[in-house]
Structure 1
Amino acid sequence: MSKYKSYTYDTVIAGHFQETETYFINRPNGRNDWLITFTLEGEGYFKVPGHELNCQFGDVTLLKPGIPHQYGTRRGYTWQFVWAHFPSSLIETSLLPNDNLIMQSIENESARQRIRHAFTRVISDSRERGEYWNELCCNALREIIMLLAQKKSHVMDARIEETLSLLSQRMREHIRIDDLAHAVGLSASRLSHLFKTITGQSIVDTLNRMRVQQAALLFEHTERSASQICFDVGFQNYNHFTNQFRKWYGVNPSSYMKHKRSAPSLLGDN
């Protein structure tokens, strides 16, 4: 028996390729696992019976098991992409459309970075092959698939999606609309108008709602004081925090905290 362990179809296999226009793969009988790719630069193509598509920067493609296919670099281009093969049994592929070939363009920079980082973890774990490497790879791939499913069910202008991501990432900071607008390539007035039209709330109201919702979770699951939580979530003025909390929850922070902490519960030690 060979001392080398062969790959099976219940194993995640992943890599990072940069290929010229001569690169192509032809599988007349398909494979018994899924293929997912994420294009970083250049362009590639995929062909399945009755369907052909081109992929470019920010595109995620998924190829269903058992489907005859061909893919490669488009003529005149190079194609840089990350990829992984994974089995249906290990990931909730029921979240995906029931199509032989799926492509979704990721226009939101935060989402693109998140997917790129997930692929980086898959590739790293599959190379290091630590004790739980296959499970870690599947968790990262599951994150990508859930992001795709979420975006499929809730289509939004990429600039507003990016703005929401920036608000959540920088919730504790002093945020200026001018800075958000610059980050998404719009004027401040245009961003404000578009944001309100799509979400139904202003940028400021949305940020305050995020902060207050996070504060409510901290009241319920930690023993931090109201003044500590006020600053934890990004408010610099306690009176402003109190007014916003009352606006969204109908009570002041202290009353909410007493109500949530009056019943026995498992509280954190933070």
Structure 2
Amino acid sequence: MYKVIIADDEYMIHRSLAKLVESSEHPFRVVGEAEDGAEALLLLKEKPDLIITDICMPGLDGLAFIEKAKQVRSDVLFLVISGYGEFEYAQRALRLGVEDFLLKPVSPEKFQQTLTAIYHRLEKQKRRVMDYRQWFLGHEELLLQLSDAIWRLDEKAVDELLHKLVHHYEKEAADEIPFPTLNNILQEKIMNELANRGLSFQDHPIYRELTADADEKINATSSVLIQCRAYTQILLHAVKSSRNFGSRTHISKAITYTKDNLSDSTLSVQAAADIAGMSVTYFSRLFKEETGTSYVQYLTRLRMEKAKILLDEQLHSASEICERVGYADYPHFSKTFKKIYGIAPADYSKLHRSI
């Protein structure tokens, strides 16, 4: 089923167009109707395959709407509806890459013929995209690693993985897969993976704003790497924006995990950062901002506090307590305890028993 949105400032016209679309012999479904370009932009969250739009509308007109919509959904097809006196605007629309234009009043027969042509174009496009996706399947692991690096806000890893992906693309598929298609599928796969982790921001204002900004910056260059980097920066910024007020939740999650796993000798800043879904560098900075101390210092303090409590209970030997608080090496445990409390754990235990 192909999704369609319709934009026309005349209610009766966009209603009649919707009925014509729904009565088509081809699988089209109207998922939204708008009476101006600004309202139509909001409907892009429905991920339409085809947009039918008038040119002369109040506020954001059809041409401006097409330009903005292409920045968000470059793969969507456009059918322009134009009045007799607006033919020159329709010509401009064709230069923007629209599929076709029809003059008002629209003949139902001509409209259905045009829909049929667009349907065949969409089918051809779908088959081509399916072929392209086969190439991506061969690099699924690399894409998952890239999504994970974006999720963790690890910009160094993102850059390294992009270099690998672009190298494979230029070597294996550059002659077959146009860059816009590569970029669209790449973004889709990464955003789907991020959505699985609870982040969805494609319809967020910052996503549209940054996408438009990136388009302006990369128009003058043909470097695939630069273009891919520009769009992954959008995703990184969007992840940061989505987390702007959620960092405390992520740090709190890592703290809870740490408290529950003090006996695990493999517990580390890397493990805590993984739980928080961040790179070690980003996690360490946020952790210190939230707690006023480094993660290693925090972990050490928790372990020593627990060790002291266990020693006070006098139910276990110092060597047993060493293991219970996550130390595999007793001398290291004893040295750390003495550094904090001024006395070795074994001596502390003896002193406590004598009181």
What TM-score do you get using the length of structure 1 for normalisation?
0.38
- Mark the structure with the bigger radius of gyration: 2
| Higher helix proportion | 2
> What TM-score do you get using the length of structure 2 for normalisation?
0.29
Structure 1 or 2: more strand by fraction:
1
